[in-house]
């Protein structure tokens, strides 16, 4: 039964990621992967909030934490975009992108966790 919660959340998360990414790309299409960066940072904020509220029902965490946040964020696209930048001789952009993703991701998670850990 747990797979239904995870799968349902993942499907909704992936659809939301796609829609939000397309929206951002239409507005900021300048060769830098802003859409994936924004989606991944938003996902870490959401997961930080959920982690701060670990007393949420197990099924809700399966749906929202593992499913939705897992389907919403994307390590594979981030990797693909970084490698693409690197191969296009934009090594600096690739390193900035990876650094921003990791550093801001941790900061976003910890900030959300601290703000909602009441």
70: annotated binding-site residue? yes
pLDDT > 80? residue 118: no
pLDDT tens for 38-86 read 999 999 999 999 999 877 788 999 999 999 999 999 999 999 999 999 9
92: annotated binding-site residue? no
Per DSSP, the three-state class of 117 is coil
Which of 28-32, 80-84, 86-90 shows the lowest mean pLDDT across its residues? Answer: 28-32
Give the whole-number percent of the chain exceeding pLDDT 70. Answer: 100
What pLDDT, on a 0 to 100 scale, did the predictor assign at position 16? 98
In residues, how long is the chain? 118
DSSP string, 24-62: HHHH--SSS-HHHHHHHHHHHHHHHHHHHTTTS-HHHHI
What pTM was estimated for this model as a whole? 0.92
DSSP string, 74-91: -HHHHHHHHHHHHHTT-H
Q: Cα–Cα distance between 113 and 45 in angstroms, integer?
A: 8
């Amino acid at each position: 039964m747990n797979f239904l919660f995870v799968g349902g959340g993942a499907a909704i998360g992936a659809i939301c990621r796609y829609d939000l990414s397309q929206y951002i790309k239409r507005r900021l299409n300048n060769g830098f992967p802003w859409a994936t960066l924004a989606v991944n940072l938003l996902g870490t904020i959401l997961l930080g909030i959920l982690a701060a509220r670990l007393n949420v029902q197990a099924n809700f965490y399966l749906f929202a934490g593992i499913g939705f946040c897992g389907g919403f964020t994307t390590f594979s696209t981030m990797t693909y975009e970084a490698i693409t930048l690197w191969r296009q001789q934009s090594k600096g952009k690739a390193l900035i992108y990876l650094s921003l993703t990791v550093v801001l991701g941790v900061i976003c998670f910890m900030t959300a966790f601290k703000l909602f850990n009441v």
